[in-house]
Structure 1
Amino acid sequence: MNMDAAYDQASRRARMRIVIRDTRGKVKLGAMTRIVNGKCPMHAEMNAVLFGVGIVRGRGFEEVEVESDSALVVQEINKAGVSFWEWAALTREVVSLAAKFKTCRFSNVRRFANSLAHSITGVECPEGEIIVSEHLLSFIDNVDAVLD
Structure 2
Amino acid sequence: MNDIYKAPKSELKTSKYHSLIERLLKEQSMPLSIFAVLLGTLGTLVLLSFARGIIPLYVYVIPGFIAGILVKFMGRPVTASYRGIPGLLSGVIVSIWVSLGGISIYTFLLPLLNILCCLAVSRRRLNYEEEKALYKYRHGLVKL
- TM-score, normalised via structure 1 length: 0.30
Structure with more of its chain in strand, by fraction: 1
Higher helix share: 2
